[in-house]
């Protein structure tokens, strides 16, 4: 930006130079002292340069176009090739002068972009809201509708307590969970046909809930029970926890369980459910993707890959059924544990039961009994369709045990059916094994167990006779 008055100075110097060039020299004198007449033209040019330099260096007042206070021009840091302190790029700094520039006159320039920011935000919000309403109208689902309960709802397991989880059937005398069809009074026995009222059909009836009677019970050492099954008169139990997982064999004697054999499982594995299939004891691991295999005499038989988490396990004579903490059952080949078919979605009138845990197959009814994690409920499931046929409510048995043990991990888990068709149940850290007695709902019948020769008791080696001896804590 040029300084005001510079053009006038240069024009004045030019006029003087032109006047001197038109005037003839007088008596051989040069126009510039110290220069000869022959060198007058170069001298005039030099004089013009000197006058222009003096005009640039001469201090002059700053002329402003308005009465506003002049704005001091910004200074710049030193760099090679510049003179002065803080000279502007491409200009020489003149010592002893204040580098000022006048402010522009006229009204301040508006800023339309800054003013439109709130407007743009409101327009974007209105467009997004309109798109959301349009999408929800196409799908037919309200925008604020709660997610459906049961399978795929992503609900966490219920906290330990006496109440049934969401999506599970109500206990007798209780209210139905949210999202489930309410049934006044106790659950009906059997499936109730829908009445033809000329309108929409009634919702499907929920499966009945039974309360078994407590039979005999046997004292047992408390273990973190994960799997349970009978082989003849012997009861096999797999228990979990890292560094404490075991596979133990008990014999029912009098009113207690006597140790027959046992072994410690690898400390890096968290043992889960167990089942006997074609003479091989399969023990699941929780998250280690491994199935440990043993003979009925607890001799190691290698391991297999497990595609997913392991929770419960049982064998129906053809397939091994596994649970993984969801409302699904997975079928596997007993030879190599490869998947067989698609997972079976378990539901009761369209509502998932919750996380399924320990499993036990009942040959008399063809159903799979499953503990629902952190509840006192056992679901009787048809493995072919995934329908819950009825429920067993074991809260009258489980509540006194929890009150006695005072352990938050003491939840119901562990089901086994012996050769006589008796159903037994226990729990994690429980010190008792209970026999359950109940009658099937109306319309259901059981077939007698298949006749088979009694299985001979396995001959356990001496290395497992004393059981698993865990190191004592220091």
pLDDT tens for each residue of 229-238: 999 899 999 9
Among 73-77, 218-222, 280-284, 430-434, the least confident range: 73-77
- Would you give the DSSP letter of residue 234? E
Other CB atoms within a 10 A radius of the CB of residue 218 amount to 20
- Selection from 159, 177, 160 nearest residue 168 by Cα: 177
Residue 248's pLDDT band (cuts 50, 70, 90)? very high
Say whether pLDDT at 112 is over 90.
no
Indicate the pairing of strand 388-393 with strand 209-210. Answer: parallel
For 66, the token pair is 């308005």
Check whether 272 has a pLDDT greater than 60. Answer: yes
Provide mean pLDDT across the span 83-87. 44
The pLDDT tens digits of the residues spanning 320-374 come to 999 999 999 999 999 999 999 999 999 999 999 999 999 999 999 999 999 999 9
Question: What confidence score (pLDDT) does residue 181 get?
Answer: 34
Q: What is the pLDDT of residue 131?
A: 73
Q: Is the pLDDT of residue 224 over 60?
A: yes
Task: State mean pLDDT over 138-149.
Answer: 41
- Average per-residue pLDDT in the chain? 73
If you average pLDDT over residues 263-280, what whole number do you get? 94
Residue pLDDT, tens place only, 158-195? 433 333 433 444 433 333 333 333 333 333 333 333 33
* 456 pLDDT higher than 60: yes
**Which one has a higher pLDDT value, 264 or 24?**
264
Give residue 143's pLDDT: 37
> Order of strands, edge to edge, in the sheet holding 423-427?
225-231, 234-239, 246-253, 256-264, 213-219, 432-437, 423-427, 412-417
Out of 176-185, 276-285, 351-360, 459-468, pick the least confident. Answer: 176-185
Q: Judge whether residue 49 has pLDDT over 90.
A: no
C-alpha closest to that of 73 among 57, 59, 89: 89
Dihedral sign computed on CA atoms, order 447, 170, 180, 411: negative
Q: What percent of the chain has pLDDT over 70?
A: 57
Higher per-residue confidence, 126 vs 404: 404
Predicted local distance difference test score (pLDDT) of residue 135: 62
Query: 210-464 is classed in which CATH architecture?
Result: 6 Propeller (2.120)
What pLDDT, on a 0 to 100 scale, did the predictor assign at position 287?
94
Residue 78 pLDDT grade (very low, low, confident, very high; cuts 50, 70, 90): very low
- Per DSSP, the residues of 7-35 read HHHHHHHHHHHHHHHHSPPSTT--SSTT-
Query: Which of 24, 27, 97, 88 shows the shortest CA–CA distance to 56?
Result: 97
Q: Report residue 470's pLDDT band, with 50, 70 and 90 as the boundaries.
A: confident
- Res. 462: pLDDT tops 50: yes
Confidence at 126, pLDDT banded by 50, 70, 90: confident
| pLDDT for position 146 | 36
Average pLDDT over residues 202-217: 83
**Per-residue pLDDT band at 59 (split at 50, 70, 90):** low
Q: Are 255 and 247 in contact (CB under 8 A)?
A: no
Q: Measure the CA–CA gap between 468 and 245, rounded to whole angstroms.
A: 9
Q: Which one has a higher pLDDT value, 444 or 301? A: 301
Dist CA 152 CA 253 (whole Å):
45
At residue 137, the pLDDT reads 57
- pLDDT tens digits, residue range 28-39? 444 444 444 444
Predicted pLDDT of residue 440 = 92
Q: Confidence class of residue 6 from pLDDT cuts 50, 70 and 90? A: low
How far is residue 124 CA from its own chain's centroid?
30
What is the reported pLDDT for 457? 79
Query: At what angle are helices 40-57 and 6-22 packed, to 10 degrees?
Result: 160
């Amino acid at each position: 930006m040029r300084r005001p008055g510079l053009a006038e100075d240069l024009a004045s110097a030019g006029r003087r130079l032109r006047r001197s060039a038109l005037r003839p020299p007088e008596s051989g004198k040069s126009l510039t002292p110290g220069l000869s007449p022959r060198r007058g033209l170069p001298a005039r040019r030099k004089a013009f340069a000197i006058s222009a330099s003096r005009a640039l260096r001469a201090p002059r007042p700053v002329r402003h176009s308005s009465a506003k206070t002049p704005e001091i021009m910004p200074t710049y840091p030193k760099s090679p090739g510049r003179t002065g302190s803080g000279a502007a790029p491409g200009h020489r700094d003149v010592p002893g002068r204040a580098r000022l520039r006048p402010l522009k006159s006229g009204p301040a320039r508006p800023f339309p972009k800054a003013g439109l920011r709130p407007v743009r935000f409101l327009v974007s919000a209105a467009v997004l809201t309109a798109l959301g309403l349009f999408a929800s109208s196409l799908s037919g689902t309200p925008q604020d509708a709660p997610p459906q309960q049961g399978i795929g709802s992503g609900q966490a397991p219920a906290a330990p307590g006496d109440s049934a989880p969401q999506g599970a059937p109500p206990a007798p005398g209780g209210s139905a969970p949210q999202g489930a069809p309410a049934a006044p009074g106790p659950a009906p026995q059997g499936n109730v046909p829908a009445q033809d009222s000329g309108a929409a059909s009634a919702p499907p009836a929920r499966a009945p809930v039974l309360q078994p009677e407590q039979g005999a019970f046997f004292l047992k050492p408390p273990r973190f029970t994960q799997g349970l099954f009978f082989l003849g008169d012997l009861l096999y139990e797999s228990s979990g926890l890292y560094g404490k997982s075991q596979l133990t064999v008990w014999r029912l004697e009098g009113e207690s369980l006597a140790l027959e054999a046992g072994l410690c499982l690898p400390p890096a594995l968290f043992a889960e459910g167990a089942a006997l299939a074609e003479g091989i004891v399969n023990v699941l691991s929780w998250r280690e993707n491994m199935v440990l295999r043993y003979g009925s005499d607890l001799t190691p038989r290698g391991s297999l890959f497990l595609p997913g988490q392991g929770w419960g396990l049982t064998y129906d004579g053809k397939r091994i059924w596994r649970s993984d903490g969801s409302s699904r059952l997975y079928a596997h080949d007993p030879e190599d544990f490869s998947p067989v078919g698609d997972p079976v979605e378990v539901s009761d009138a369209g509502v998932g039961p919750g996380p399924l845990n320990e499993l036990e197959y009942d040959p008399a009814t063809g159903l799979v009994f499953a503990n629902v994690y952190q509840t006192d409920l056992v679901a009787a499931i048809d493995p072919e369709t995934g329908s819950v046929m009825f429920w067993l409510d074991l809260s009258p048995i489980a509540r006194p045990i929890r009150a006695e043990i005072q352990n938050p991990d003491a939840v119901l888990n562990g089901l086994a059916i012996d050769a006589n068709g008796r159903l037994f149940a226990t729990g994690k850290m429980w010190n008792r094994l209970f026999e359950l007695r109940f009658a099937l709902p109306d319309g259901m019948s059981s077939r007698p167990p298949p006749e088979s020769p009694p299985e001979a008791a396995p001959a356990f080696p001496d290395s497992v006779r004393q059981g698993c001896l865990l190191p004592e804590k220091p």
